[in-house]
Amino acid sequence: METLEQLLGNLSNIVWGPPMLILLVGTHIFLTLRLRGIQRYIGRGIRLSITRTAEGQGDISHFGALATALAATIGTGNIVGVATAVASGGPGAVFWVWITGVFGIATKYAEALLAVKYRVVTPAGTMAGGPMYVLERGLKARWLGILFALFTSIAAFGIGVTVQANSVASMVYETFKIPTWITGLALTVLTALVILGGIKSIARACEKLVPFMAFFYVLGCLIILIMNAQAIPGAIALILKSAFTGHAAAGGFAGATVMMTIRYGVARGLFSNESGLGSAPIVAAAAQTTNPVRQALVSMTGTFWDTVIVCAMTGLVLVTTGAWQSGLQGAAMSKTAFAMVPIIGPITLTVGLLTFVYSTILGWSYYGEKAVEYLLGYRAVLPYRVLWVIACFVGSVVSLPLVWSFADIANGLMAIPNLIALIGLSGVLVSETRKYLWEGSLEASLEQTLSR
């Protein structure tokens, strides 16, 4: 008879199995075609995101919304998740992680557009939006909105805080021998100082933290790659070849078929950038914007930065250093790869994980908060924030494998109602994009904004 942990593990494998991956990737491709390759506007989205404009209704700026979404998205998946993909699928998995990000840009655009279009003003005077409101107001399916909010609130407490806190406390103990309760206490205080102030406080913290952590990590990866410059051409060739042929056993690597390479690359890419899961549009709905397309263009850059840039950098480091042949898994492989470059490597990995985990805790706190508010009303927000702070400390000192598996299942189930909304309202996506972007009615406004 299987244990509860085994049962949840098997359920997680089913939820994140081939049908879910096909549905997510299929939606990415469908929306890319339906929106005429919206990825070609990525440069415009980047320029809009850094203008920090405050136009129209909303609680936070374009950049604040993007930074908060990136805070939740850029996490251990960018470091440990990529290593897991390479360990199981070989070097070619890096290519499929990257491709998932390229097509996922269209889905992230679509999610944000609908979130802004169907958002509401709460009795407290703040903005509220996301898939639950899209399902209720756009598809007239409130029951699906309730399901999405329920799955989100469960996933948030697991993946968003307890598991994150546990991973960083364990890493600090292994590296510096600092007791987990001390790390947990420090992390809890830092979290409380930010999230008890609400979305404006979270956005302010993320606006400062995200650029620093992303720049520091990418710079560290670049230094490592420059030091291994002679290995880069061969690594890229190996990644491209293995993506379509699989890879035989080499060193400590057990070997992988083409299907394994694609499966693990796609799965880790989707898990890292969260395009299609419905989390990021919750904060996109809080942005100050005059129309849905503006924020959608900004939001889609999140997938570009998370997967097309950060995950690709991690993958190149793992392949160029030869760590993929070590036979190690996940975090152990990453640690080995970065340790091959004295001083710079370990510092990059440690600071990267610390900041990535903390930012994820901040970003996901807002996702869970809005899900709980949708289910129970605004009065539940403050008690929820207090519970979140407590969960941060508990997660630091107690290993919770059951919580991880349960939250992983809920995280995957979030995608189903969200994808139903994206496909069912694809006509609205096309109509809004045509109105504000393709027909040029937004062109003059955009250029005016970008020239300031």
Contact 390, 187 (CB under 8 A): no
Strand 120-121, strand 127-128: pairing: antiparallel
Given a cut of 50, whether residue 122 has pLDDT beyond it is yes
In a domain, 110, yes or no: yes
In a domain, 261, yes or no: yes
In a domain, 41, yes or no: no
Given a cut of 50, whether residue 1 has pLDDT beyond it is no
Is the Cα torsion angle 307, 310, 314, 317 positive or negative in sign?
Answer: positive
**In 3D, which of 415, 421, 413, 410 has the Cα closest to residue 154?**
410
CB atoms under 10 Å from CB of 242, counted, come to: 25
Contact 397, 181 (CB under 8 A): yes
In tens, the pLDDT along 229-240 reads 999 999 999 999
Instruction: Look at 64-68, 116-120, 161-165, 438-442 and tell me which has the smallest mean pLDDT.
Output: 438-442
CA–CA separation, 284 vs 281, rounded Å? 5
Instruction: Look at 40-49, 287-296, 325-334 and tell me which has the smallest mean pLDDT.
Output: 325-334
In tens, the pLDDT along 284-298 reads 898 888 889 999 999
In a domain, 31, yes or no: no
**In 3D, which of 79, 70, 66, 69 has the Cα closest to residue 354?**
79
Q: Find the domain containing 248 and state its range.
A: 65-439
Q: What is the DSSP string of 316-365?
A: HHHHHTTGGGS---HHHHHHHHHHTSTTHHHHHHHHHHHHHHHHHHHHHH
pTM: 0.90
In a domain, 45, yes or no: no
Given a cut of 90, whether residue 112 has pLDDT beyond it is yes
Q: What is the pLDDT of residue 333?
A: 85
Given a cut of 70, whether residue 450 has pLDDT beyond it is no
Q: What is the pLDDT of residue 353?
A: 80
Backbone angles phi and psi of 57, in degrees to 5: -75, 150
In a domain, 85, yes or no: yes
Given a cut of 90, whether residue 338 has pLDDT beyond it is no
Is the Cα torsion angle 79, 406, 28, 291 positive or negative in sign?
Answer: negative
DSSP β-bridge partners for residue 180: none
CB atoms under 10 Å from CB of 137, counted, come to: 17
In a domain, 155, yes or no: yes
Contact 103, 415 (CB under 8 A): no
Mean pLDDT for the stretch of residues 63-79: 78
290, with CB counted inside 10 A (0-12, 13-18, 19+), is middle
Which band of pLDDT confidence, cut at 50, 70 and 90, is reported for residue 274? confident
- Radius of gyration of the chain, Cα coordinates, nearest whole angstrom: 21
Q: What is the pLDDT of residue 19?
A: 87
CATH number at residue 430: 1.10.4160.10
CA–CA separation, 144 vs 136, rounded Å? 8
Backbone angles phi and psi of 120, in degrees to 5: -130, 165
Backbone angles phi and psi of 36, in degrees to 5: 55, 40
Which band of pLDDT confidence, cut at 50, 70 and 90, is reported for residue 440? low
CA–CA separation, 373 vs 149, rounded Å? 9
Contact 312, 94 (CB under 8 A): yes
Q: What is the pLDDT of residue 339?
A: 84
In a domain, 292, yes or no: yes
Measured CA distances, 38 to 34, 45, 160, 203 (Å): 9, 10, 30, 26
Given a cut of 50, whether residue 173 has pLDDT beyond it is yes
- Dihedral angle computed from the Cα positions of residues 329, 12, 69 and 171, in that order, rounded to the nearest 10 degrees: -40
For residue 424, what are its two tokens?
């069912």
Domain tally, the chain: 1
Q: Which residues contact 329 (CB under 8 A, 6 or more apart)?
A: 83, 84, 87
In tens, the pLDDT along 47-61 reads 988 775 556 666 677
Averaged confidence pLDDT in the chain = 85
CB atoms under 10 Å from CB of 316, counted, come to: 23
In tens, the pLDDT along 16-35 reads 788 888 898 999 999 999 99
Say how far residue 187 (Cα) sits from the centre of its chain.
21
